[in-house]
Amino acid sequence: MGKAVIFDMDGVICHTNPFHSQAFRFFFEKRDLFPTEEEFQEHMYGKNNGYILSHFLGREIKGEELEELEFEKESLFREIYQHHVEPIPGFMPFFHSLKEFGFKLGVATSAPFANLELIGGRLNLFPFLHSALASEHVTKHKPDPEVYIKTAKNLGIDASDCVVFEDSFSGVTAAKNAGMKVVGVLSSHTKDQLPECDDYLQDYISITPQIISNLLG
């Protein structure tokens, strides 16, 4: 049957959150709104755009309006971030070592596919991925487990044989709801701010495929 490792993207493959903050700041400033870093911590990191925009704009944003505003904000993000694409230290060697160890690999992000294309393309991840899902591929967003359940299906691997790398409360919850093991990446949150994970790391420098294999027992 085999085993799999699934990565979230923002805050897990690359430390993109500061650039998302920047894009949202520009977006909201145009509308005379000036959220604080504390508000972003609570209502932006790890949340989907429908929630974020509805929260900060103070009314429900959905349907076509959501698509337009999301496109505006994410285009700003890509414009800023394209000059800064850089993986979290140790990620690339670890990613390739997992492949050599025999793990199937997937990415499951709440971001739009265009963001995944930018990051996955720059880092040349796509030739090594058996599944790459973004916000367009699901109807329910994290903490709903849909994106992880679909990824396991794409990989042809049981949920119980998957380890997920996640950095947000909703992401860790989604992976646990899918019945997967979770490694918490402490890029934007502390241990206390996340649901309990099976392991934690700041970067990928000392993690090995054997450690991941042991997690699955």
On the question of pLDDT at 102 being above 80, the answer is: yes
Q: What is the dihedral of CA 127, 203, 76, 56, to 10 degrees?
A: 130
Q: State the total domains in the chain.
A: 2
pLDDT value of residue 42: 87
* CATH number reported for the structural domain that contains residue 25 in this entry: 1.10.150.240
pLDDT tens by residue, 35-79: 998 998 889 887 888 999 999 999 999 999 999 999 999 999 999
Q: Which domain range does residue 44 map to?
A: 17-81
pLDDT band at 114 (very low <50, low <70, confident <90, very high): very high
Question: Of 81, 100, 126, which one is at a domain's C-terminal end?
Answer: 81
- Closest by CA to 48, choosing from 29, 67, 28, is 67
- Do 45 and 17 meet the contact criterion of CB atoms below 8 Å apart? yes
φ, ψ for residue 31, nearest 5 deg? -110, 20
- Same domain? For 66 and 46 the reply is yes
- Same domain? For 28 and 93 the reply is no
- Same domain? For 121 and 47 the reply is no
Degrees, nearest 5: CA angle 116-186-108: 25
Of residues 14 and 188, more confidence is placed in 14
- Same domain? For 157 and 66 the reply is no
- Same domain? For 118 and 174 the reply is yes
Question: Of 33, 65, 81, which one is at a domain's C-terminal end?
Answer: 81
Q: What is the rounded average pLDDT of the residues 113-117?
A: 97
- Same domain? For 133 and 206 the reply is yes
Question: Of 63, 81, 99, which one is at a domain's C-terminal end?
Answer: 81
H/E stretch holding 166 reads strand 162-166
- Same domain? For 60 and 116 the reply is no
- Can you say whether residue 46 is alpha, beta or left, with left for phi > 0 and alpha for psi between -120 and 50 degrees? left
- Same domain? For 11 and 21 the reply is no
- Same domain? For 146 and 179 the reply is yes
* CATH number reported for the structural domain that contains residue 91 in this entry: 3.40.50.1000
- Same domain? For 187 and 102 the reply is yes
pLDDT value of residue 1: 65
Query: 139 CB contacts (<8 Å, ≥6 apart)?
Result: 146
Degrees, nearest 5: CA angle 130-213-4: 15
pTM: 0.93
- Same domain? For 34 and 139 the reply is no
Q: What is the DSSP letter of 140?
A: S
Residues 33, 102: Cα–Cα separation, whole Å = 49
Query: 96 CB contacts (<8 Å, ≥6 apart)?
Result: 128
Edge-to-edge strands, sheet with 162-166: 131-133, 104-108, 4-7, 162-166, 181-185, 199-201
- Same domain? For 123 and 151 the reply is yes
